[in-house]
Structure formats: structure tokens, C-alpha cells
A and B are shown apart, each in its own frame.
Chain A
Amino acid sequence: MTAPLLEFRHISKSFPGVKALEDVSVDLRAGEVHVIVGENGAGKSTLMKLLSGAYAADEGELLLEGTPLRKNSPKISEQIGIAMIYQELTLVPELSVADNIFLGHEIHKGPLLNRREMERRTEALLASIGIAVSPRTLLRNLSIANQQMIEITKALSKNAKIIVFDEPTSSLTSAEIAELFRIIAALREKGVGMFYISHRLEEIFEIGDRVTIMRDGKRISTTAIAQTSMDRIVEGIAGRRIENVYTRTPSERGETLFALRNLSGGVFKNVSLQVRSGEIVGVAGLVGSGRSEVARAAFGIDAYKSGDVLVRGKPLPRGNPQTASRAGIAFLPEDRKREGLALSLPIRENTVISALSRLNPRGIIRRRKERAAVQKYVDDLEISTPTVEKLTNFLSGGTQQKVVLAKWLLSQAHTFIFDEPTRGIDIGSKSNIYSLMDELVRQGAGILMISSELPEVLGMSDRIYVMAQGRIAGELSREEANHYAVIQLAFSRPEAAAEGGTPDER
């Protein structure tokens, strides 16, 4: 057998405090779609970043068609025909489609740009994968889905032999996903080798040839799609840890702390839900189903059109995180570095920021009281740090999440909205955070947990709301909830059911 198109051989990579990859070996053949699955933090993205040249491996080697690749950088990887398609687009909105596709490797006629030729080729490329967009359109005038297609076209324009798709479907509608899959199938015919990273397990069976499961930086298995099943993949991803990772002790349900009544706006419509004291309420659904948007609107970050946010039965004035936090709502954002912490400030100042008025009602800081309060939560949450003066910039993801949690605990919130509570957090801190959540509800708090990780939702929630197309598609009790029930609801079409019309595609 000839050498595979690409091979990772015994790769290891560490970051301060985390072993991101440990002895990982994976190969990619020409003309195959190799799906890589695993939880966040399992090491998928790190592996792909080694391929793109963004990182260098500590140990092991990368072989291209049998020959080791000695050095790698974004430039080199591009030259040897590796293209990355990220979730975040790397396009320039003010430039035309053709200019974007040829950015960095333009076609010249003398010193001038040969726009006609670039447009002609763009048109041909777009036609070859069946996208009807004019090459002259400014990128900012395209829908997100179309921009993604342009990103793929860009990879094609460089004659990429290897394309990495990093969660490409997260912002696409189902019709657009079908279109993407058609393009991927066409690429497979052309002999392009593709890595496909996805959280949507259903997609794997539709598009994949082989699947590699990763967990905690290690490769668990690589099998042909035909020889595996959904159950085995789920089991592989989660490991046999389901029982010991998730801590749930039954707790007393109390009054309704937090509720949404027919909340509508942006991408969501008519969302109603309640969170009672003593329960963890999960919100599941595909990425793009409007889960995070609902949470952000409820906390006052984004505006909503109609409906009410009720805290202990009383409507909350809209459009202002300040009133929400004063009413006892806590919001733990998905992107902690960008939205949760002031990284140039120490743990102490991050922890007290939302509780300043309560700790120092006269506006003047009482240092001893502050330090004691912070130290108490650092101890309670087992935040591993030598001192509360440590800058949050230098903490690991799990510890950062705990600091954000400590901030809201100190502000005496009663309802906690977690948006992807364990994204990018290592397994040890994960179970730690789960037991903290359990502890919280036992003490009478309510938790609304938004998560893409089904095992997490199933393992932690007392009740689960499943969202699809911006609506609540259904509600499941802990007893009714299982993987299939949630998936079924997540793929349902509540919009069609509600209005009897056809779903509108952006």
C-alpha cells in the first residue's frame, strides 16, 4: 500500500499546565473524509493547529506522503497544499468575492491585477461547486453561509490537497449543510483528503469515511464508519466516566426563581421557560438554534422585541445587565477571556467586581473584609492559586471559570446562567465545576445551563429544554431524557409546526 497522504506519528504537545496531546497517531488518505470527534479540550483543534503550522509539536513527526515535514509554518503549510476552514471566517468584508479568494496569491498582468482573469477563475470555481454568487459582490453583502462557501472556494483556488473543516456547520441551516456536504462529496471525488471536526454526530454517518475518537489528548480509536455505530461513538467520546464525572444529588425544588415568558427577538421566538430553586435546567439544541442568544437577551446584553423576563415573578426592566445582576442573576459567558474576566487584574479584583456595592455600601473599599471574602471563595471553590493577587491572565481555563463563578457567588446571585460551563476546561476541573453546580442548587440556587455537550446536559440536568430554529422544541424530564430524545427534538421543526408555513432560509 502506498503511503497515506498525511500522517501524524506519535505526536505530543503540552501547554503550561495541560497535556494537550499525548502520543497521537492519525493518518489521512487521499479522497477520504476523516472525521475527528471528541469533547472540547480533547485535543482536536490542537492537532489541526499543528497541521496548519500555528503550533509546533513537542514530540513526534508529521509525514506528508511518506516524507517527514521538518519545519512547518502557516506559509509552508499553505504551500504544500493544506487549507484550514475555521468556524470564524478569515475574509475581508470590504473586498469582492474574487479579491478575497485570491488574497495573498493574486494573478497579475504586469504590475497590475488581472481582475478579469481572477473573476473568470472565481466564476469557474464557484460554478464547479455550484454556488451562484457573482465574483464582484462585496463579501459583506453575502450571508454567513455563503461567506463560508467562499472560504471553501478559497481553499480550492490554492489547489489544496488537504482541507481541514473545523465545525463548518455551526452557523448553517440544514439546507446549507446539505449543500456543503454535496461540495465535500465533490472534493472527495477529486481526491482531496479532508479532516472533518464536528460535534454533530449525525453528520458523521452522512459524510465520513473513517472516524477517530479523541479524549483527553489521546487517540481512543480509529474505525471505518461502516463498522461502528452511534452508540459506540458516544461511548468512545464520553469514555466510561459518565457516572463518576457528573455529581447530582437530589435536592428540594422551591419557588420559581427565574422565568422567560414568550421572549422573542433576533433569532428566537416565543421562548418560555422557568428555573426553580434547587434545580439545574439544561438547554440543549444545535449550535445556531438560538440558545445562547436567549440567555444573552435574558441577561440584558442584547435587546429583545417582546415578552418578559421574570425574576421571582416580577418582570425585569429590559436591556441592561446591571439590573439583571442586581436582581440576582449571574451570567457565566462562554468566552471567559473576552467576556468574563479583566485579565490584567488579579483574582481579588475580578472576584469582587460585581459585589462592590454590597461589600462597600459607602463606596469606600474595606480591604480586610474584601480579602477575607475573596479568600473564602477561593478556598470554597478550591481555586488553585498561591495568592489571590495572581493575575487572571495566567490562570488555566478551569481556574478562570471558577473565578467567574466566585464573582457571582460573592454577589449573592440566586440564578446562574451558564453558557457552555466547561468549554475548553480540562477533565479534572470539569468534575470540580459539576460538583460546585450540584452544591449550588442544594443550597437553593437555580441554574440554567446551556451546553453543546449532550453527556453534560443529560448528566447534570433535572429538566431539559431542547431548542430548534429559535424555539423551544420540547421539554424533557430527567427520566424521559436520553440521547435520542434530545436529538430528535433538536432536529424537529417547531417553526413549521407553529405557523404551518415553510421555514424561511436566510
Chain B
Amino acid sequence: MSGKTSVFSKRLLKIVTDFSSLLILAAVFLFFEAANALNGDHYLTLSNISVILNQSCFLTIIGVAQALVILTGGLNLSIGSVMAFTTVMWGRMLVGNSPDSVHYLVPMAIIVGAGMAIGLVNGLLITKLKMPPFIATFATMFACRGMAWLALGKKVIYNLNSDFRYLGTGVVERLGAFSITVPMIIVFLLLLGTSFLLTRTNFGRRIYFTGSNPVAARFSGIPTDRVIIWVYVLSTGLAAFAGLLYGARLNSFEPGMATQAPFEAITVALIGGIAITGGFGNIWGVLCGSVIVSTIYNGMNSLSVASELQTLVMGGLIIFAVAFNQFLIKQNMELRNELDDSAPDRTRRPAPGEA
């Protein structure tokens, strides 16, 4: 093969591996379209896509929360319990619409703040007591779930403030059958913000570096403990925020909510191409991951797959997704290297005035 075509095919392959999540998404869409077509149904309608995207919003938020932590080489198992605990503790302030009650932003701030405080505990356990992230967040997971049950028992907080509920259910604009909902806007802004944080700020650079090699990070003068603590504060705070949106959509808060959330979040993040070893991955991949997972859930429902079988599919999916992703990441890095080498030397030499 001549050098030119091999570079071309490598470039093509690299694009494939770069956008592997998108390709998987397309494959999943096609699969359900075909499967539904057998029943004479149409799966990929504008309204269904809008439903899927709306459903994926919650997954995206917890996925981002998990991805932040995974990027530093950690793990956050406390995500679901924190959602339950914080909303159950202060969710009563969001009940009803009486004019004398406080503005709904006040309890929201309290709840997110409480989540961040628990994140601080996570971070301190990991950095100061040197506990493995798995154990540390596992302990807070138990403790938070217990406190949630203790606070509310078998009761449920319901009938929430309608302005608040708008955050979870509101529709901003209808474009035919496609509805742009408030959660979509929120998630889009969140992704924009997180992406900016990770790629355009010093803090983001330090997150990636710490995740890629914590020892080298420390030796390079990065305050790794502080970076890790902050990441857990953000992640856990984000989890509390996700709990708010979750409650807003369902119009209730209950202590047993979202028990699977930390694991769903891991699935979403890993399918989205975040490396479990840390230091590698693009946050937009998480969006892809959550849309894939939502599509699969939604598609299985459209085919009336029993819920107990859905667990099986998701279980198998996470295993294969991770195996596949590890393979892809390695391929991607090697292709990138080969392409770098075949690029003309020093193409990016700055103009004389620039340096």
C-alpha cells in the first residue's frame, strides 16, 4: 500500500474511533428502527427522539458527575444516596405554592450546598485518610441512604412547588413534534460549562493530569489533594442537583429514589469513552453515552421487553462496552501517534511575530 492511502485510511480509522460513541448510537437507533418496523411501527419519529433526549437528561447529569471523578482516577458511589438524602432533608421547603413561602431557589441552593458538603467529606476521606475512593464513597453511600430513610421513613414528599417543577417538566419551544424542554436546556448549559472547565481552564488541565499520573502531578507542583477534593465536591453537588431535577419531574422526593444511579452513571460515562483508569475522555461523550442508554431502555419498552430482562441487557452492555472502549482507546492513541509521525514536520511552527 502506498504511503498516501495508508495515511488516508488511518485518518478514516481515527475518525471512526474518535466518534465511536456516535456510531454506536446510530447502530442502536437503526436496530430499534428495524425491530419496530417488523411490527409495522415506526421508531425514529421526531416525538420519540424528543422523548428519548428528555429522558437522557437525568442520566447525563449524573454521568457528568461520575465522569468528573473518573477523570481523576476515582469513583463516586454516593451519587444516588446523596440525591435521596439532600432532597428528602430539605425537600419540604419546596412543597406547595403558598405566597409566603421562600423562593424555590433558596431550598435548591441549600440542597446543592449540602451535596457539596458531602462531596467534601468524600474528598477528605480519600485524600487525608488515604481511603480508596471505592470504600470512601461506599461508606457515604450507606450513611446517606440511611439518613434519608431515617429522616422520612416510608413517607414521600409530594405536591411540589409548580415553579420548581417547571425545571423538570417545562417545555420551552415546540418545533413540530419535537419539544425543547427545560431539562434539555439545563443539560446543554451544564455540558457547555463542564467542557469549558475541563478543556479551557487550569483546573481542568490539572484534573486530566492528576488522573493520568497522580505521582507526576504531585511532582509537577500540582496540589493534587485540592484538585481531588474539589472534584468530589463538584461531583457530589451535581448529584444533589440531579436529585432536584429528578424530583421536579416526578413531583415527589422519597428516600428510596435512584438506588442504581451511581452504577448507571458509571455505565453512561464509560460508554461515553471516559477511560476508567483516568486522564482520558471527552465530556461530550457522556451525552452520547446517556442517549445510547436511554435509547436502549426506550427501545426495549417499545418492543415490550420485560423489565427484568432489561437488567440483563444493561448488565451485558456495560461489560461489552467497557471491553470495547478499552480496545478503542488504545487504537485511537496509536493511530493518533502514527498520524502525528506522518504529518509534515513542524507544521505548527508559529509565525515570527507570535512567539
Contact = CB atoms under 8 A, between A and B. Distances in A.
Q: CB atoms of A and B under 8 A apart anywhere in the complex?
A: yes
Interface of A: 299, 301, 321-322, 324-326, 331, 333, 338-345, 349-350, 352-354, 356-357, 360, 363-365, 367-368, 371-372, 375-376, 379, 385-391, 393-394, 407, 411
Contact of A352 (B200, B201, B205, B343): B205
A389 B337 CA distance: 9
A301 B224 CA distance: 13
B223 A391 contact: no
Interface in B208-223: 208-209, 212-213, 215-223
Given A331-B219, A338-B215, A344-B280, A365 B343 contact: no
Nearest to A329: B221
Q: Name which of B212, B216, B347 has the most chain A CB atoms within 10 A of its CB.
A: B216
Contacts of B343: 386-387
A342 B208 contact: yes
A376 B209 CA distance: 22
A428 B249 CA distance: 65
Q: Name which of A357, A379, A387, A407 has the most chain B CB atoms within 10 A of its CB.
A: A387
Given A353-B220, A364-B202, 19 more contacts: A331-B219, A333-B219, A342-B212, A342-B216, A342-B279, A343-B212, A345-B212, A349-B208, A349-B209, A354-B220, A356-B206, A364-B200, A365-B200, A367-B200, A368-B354, A375-B355, A385-B340, A389-B340, A390-B341
B284 to A, nearest CB: 18
B354 A387 contact: no
Contacts of A367: 200
A411 B213 CA distance: 19
A368 B346 CA distance: 16
B341 to A, nearest CB: 6
B92 interface: no
A371 B348 CA distance: 9
Given A353-B222, A391-B337, A341 B350 contact: no
Given A321-B218, A386-B346, A364 B340 contact: no
A364 B207 CA distance: 14
Contacts of B279: 342, 344-345
5 contacts: A339-B219, A340-B216, A341-B216, A353-B222, A363-B203
Contacts of B337: 390-391, 393-394
A285 to B, nearest CB: 22
Interface residues of B, number: 38
B10 interface: no
B202 A322 contact: no
Contacts of B345: 386
A388 B348 contact: yes
A386 B347 contact: yes
Contacts of B355: 372, 375-376
Contacts of B11: none
Given A339-B216, A372-B350, A372-B354, A354 B202 contact: no
A345 B205 CA distance: 10
A414 to B, nearest CB: 14
B239 to A, nearest CB: 24
Given A322-B223, A349-B205, A376-B355, A341 B340 contact: no
Contacts of A389: 340
Contacts of A321: 218-221
Contacts of A371: 348, 350
B221 A326 contact: yes
Interface string B222-260: 110000000000000000000000000000000000000
A354 B220 CA distance: 6
A339 B349 CA distance: 29
Contact of B221 (A322, A385, A391): A322
B177 interface: no
Contacts of A352: 205
Interface string B308-344: 0000000000000000000000000100110011011
A411 B215 CA distance: 18
Nearest to B278: A344
A89 B166 CA distance: 63
A448 to B, nearest CB: 16
Contacts of A344: 212, 275, 279-280, 333
